[in-house]
């Protein structure tokens, strides 16, 4: 059985107050449901988040360095994230690809560093509106997936989750329809099966892009959608909890 996961990406938002109020409530809900719950606050609040979240909510980072240590001003290594008790790291979010120029090669190196350092990498992939409108969705998304899979062994997949986040649905209020999302998720799973049939069946594939309580249920009902990576709605305790409950 594949794990259902609901992950919150706070991006560059939130505060110690939000961590102190939202996470203890979420922790109680997470104890009651089957789905795994993950919250990725800004790294500066991650230690605090880890302390207040307890064991039922996993805390992750939104980015990591591909380097182990050294003169890399502003970077944070996987070992540092692990040292403060984090278990996951988002890698290759479309904002990092588009705004910070992260390439497939760098993203593959970060995923490898995360896995080797004992974390679970949540690899984010997705197409832009132009790419979708020129019928390149699967070419782009599967290209981003393969760039990472080509550098990993199937045994390492137990520490990999893939989040499909169409760029045109991020921060725009537009969500892919559940059929559009399922079509891409199924294509990702078929692509995984070319590497490892067992691994493909076990990989959790999350949908991201303006997920809210109102659309989560329909998305989660799709065969190849195993949860969500939630942006803005993860900053609102009631909304995020309502999404988590729908994951079961
Ligand atoms: C969004 O839903 O806005 C996201 O980018 C989640 O990562």
Task: Determine whether 155 is an active site residue.
Answer: no
232 DSSP assignment: G
Structure ipTM over 0.95, yes or no = yes
**Which three-class secondary structure state does DSSP give residue 136?**
coil
Q: Contact at 8 Å (CB) between 105 and 78?
A: no
pLDDT tens readout for residues 171-193: 887 778 999 999 999 999 999 99
Q: Whose CA is nearest to atom 1 of ligand 1?
A: 231
CA 234: distance to chain centroid?
13
| Joined tokens for residue 196 | 């490892």
CATH domain 5-247 topology: TIM Barrel (3.20.20)
CA distance 172 to 209: 8
Nearest in space to 163 (alpha carbons), one of 14, 62, 31, 51: 62
Catalytic, out of 127, 131, 165, 239: 165
CA distance 167 to 169: 5
What confidence tens digit (pLDDT) does each residue in 38-96 have?
999 999 999 999 999 999 999 999 999 999 999 999 999 999 999 999 999 999 999 99
Verify whether residue 95 is a known catalytic residue. Answer: no
């Amino acid at each position: 059985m594949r794990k259902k996961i609901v992950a919150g990406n706070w991006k560059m938002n939130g505060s110690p107050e939000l961590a102190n109020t939202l996470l203890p409530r979420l922790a109680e809900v997470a104890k009651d449901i089957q789905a795994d719950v993950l919250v990725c606050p800004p790294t500066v609040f991650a230690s605090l988040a880890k302390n207040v979240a307890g064991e039922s909510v996993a805390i992750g980072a939104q980015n990591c360095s591909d380097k182990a240590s050294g003169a890399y001003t502003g970077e944070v290594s996987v070992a540092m994230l692990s040292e403060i008790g984090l278990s996951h790291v988002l890698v290759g979010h479309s904002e990092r690809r588009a705004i910070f120029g992260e390439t497939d090669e760098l993203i593959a190196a970060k995923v490898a560093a995360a896995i080797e350092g004992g974390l679970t990498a949540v690899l984010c992939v997705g197409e832009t509106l132009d790419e979708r409108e020129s019928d390149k969705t699967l070419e782009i998304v599967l290209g981003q997936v393969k760039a990472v899979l080509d550098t990993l062994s199937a045994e390492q997949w137990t520490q990999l989750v893939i989040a499909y986040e169409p760029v045109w649905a991020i921060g725009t209020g537009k969500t892919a329809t559940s059929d559009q999302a399922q079509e891409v998720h199924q294509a990702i799973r078929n692509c995984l099966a070319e590497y490892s049939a067992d691994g493909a069946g076990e990989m959790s594939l999350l949908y991201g892009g303006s997920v809210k309580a109102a659309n989560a249920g329909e998305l989660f009902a799709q065969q190849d959608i195993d949860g969500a990576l939630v942006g803005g709605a993860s900053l609102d305790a009631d909304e995020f909890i309502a999404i988590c409950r729908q994951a079961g």
